[in-house]
Amino acid sequence: MDSTAFAAFSEVAADNYAKDNVANGRWNTADAPRLAREETQRLLPDGEKTKDNFLFVLRDTEANAEVGYLWYGTMVRGTKKVG
């Protein structure tokens, strides 16, 4: 994922994360967009170049269209790297 795609991804990811957290009662509607952006920044401090995180644009090759994103990463739990 390049920086242009990351900018689009981070907007979509933060928006969806905000909506999910409002729906489950964790956040209120007014604070949700800010909290989601902060959490995205915390998890991906170096954007698409954040160590141990892997971001991809998913494409429908027949339609030559973007259809979504894939993000996975590893975290350290205790002494083990999990992901």
Closest by CA to 8, choosing from 83, 73, 71, is 71
- Residue 51 lies in domain: 3-82
Burial 37-65 (b: 16+ CB within 10 A, else e): bebbeeebeebbeeeebebeeeeeeeeee
The number of folded domains in the chain is 1
pTM: 0.82
Can you give the CATH number for the domain in which 52 is found?
3.40.630.30
Question: What tens-digit pLDDT sequence spans the chain (83 residues)?
Answer: 999 999 999 999 999 999 999 999 999 999 999 999 999 999 999 999 999 999 999 999 999 999 999 999 998 888 888 87
